[in-house]
């Protein structure tokens, strides 16, 4: 029996998020520049996106670039932006054929204007697709997101739009980049690092974490199935006891 056949289709996570780490180290192992790793990492993006859609995963969020990535060498940042544009152009057909809607979270106003135009064009073309939503976290930082959320709510309280007594989790959720998404069920990080790195800190409050030594360009659909199988074999208690769940 294959790993895929072991999966319980009735217990799939509704929202998977992935920290796609290891492109640079993968390239170094090949004796290449870091940009070579980023170029090959796009192949894994395609394979994992298609695999999630085939399984019936409703939401997939990929950490494509963080607010901190702008501090990297200029050539690497330029390459990342170039790859983003070319990927969007190349993958629009795949998104349409697989009925996948593209969405973005993060401070996209920081992106180059050409990237913004290409990004929003694909978002517009796929807005009516219903099979799965692919969320690209671009120029994203969770602390930045929470700071912006606090500012927005504070302004509304000051202007008597919201009463401070009415602020609860639902109000906070409505002001996040992920306002239209469910909380993350499964967070995967590749490359062996076991850190969250400022990614969806509010949204992963009850997520199952899966860390793997596989570098992102080597991450295949079978590795995805392994992560989901591990998720399905865990008991998710959400603060309750095992007895309460039973």
Q: Cα separation of 232 and 6, whole Å?
A: 10
Q: Which residues are catalytic?
A: 21, 69
Residue 123 contacts residue 104 (beta carbons within 8 Å): yes
Q: Cα separation of 22 and 36, whole Å?
A: 12
Pairing outcome for strands 59-63 and 132-137:
parallel
Residue 172 contacts residue 202 (beta carbons within 8 Å): yes
Structure tokens at 87: 């990927």
Backbone angles phi, psi at 86, to 5 degrees: -65, -35
């Amino acid at each position: 029996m294959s790993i895929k056949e072991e999966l319980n289709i009735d217990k799939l996570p509704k929202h998977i998020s992935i920290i796609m780490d290891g492109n640079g180290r993968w390239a170094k192992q090949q004796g290449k520049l870091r940009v070579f790793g980023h170029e090959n990492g796009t192949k894994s993006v395609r394979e994992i996106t298609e695999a999630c859609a085939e399984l019936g995963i409703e939401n997939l969020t990929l950490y494509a670039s963080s607010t901190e990535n702008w501090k990297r060498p200029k050539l690497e940042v330029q390459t990342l932006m170039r790859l983003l544009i070319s990927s969007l152009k190349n993958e629009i057909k795949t998104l349409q054929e697989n009925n996948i809607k593209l969405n973005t979270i993060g401070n996209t106003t920081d992106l180059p204007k050409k990237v913004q135009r290409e990004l929003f064009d694909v978002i517009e073309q796929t807005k009516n697709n219903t099979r799965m939503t692919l969320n690209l976290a671009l120029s994203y930082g969770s602390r930045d997101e929470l700071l912006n959320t606090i500012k927005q709510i504070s302004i509304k309280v000051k202007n008597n739009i919201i009463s401070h007594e009415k602020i609860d989790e639902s109000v906070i959720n409505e002001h996040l980049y992920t306002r239209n998404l469910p909380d993350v069920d499964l967070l995967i990080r590749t490359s062996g690092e076991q850190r969250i790195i400022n990614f969806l800190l509010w949204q992963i409050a009850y997520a199952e974490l899966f860390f793997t030594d596989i570098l992102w360009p080597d991450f295949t659909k079978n590795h995805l199935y392994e992560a989901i199988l591990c998720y399905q074999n865990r008991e998710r208690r959400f603060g309750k006891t095992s007895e309460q769940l039973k």
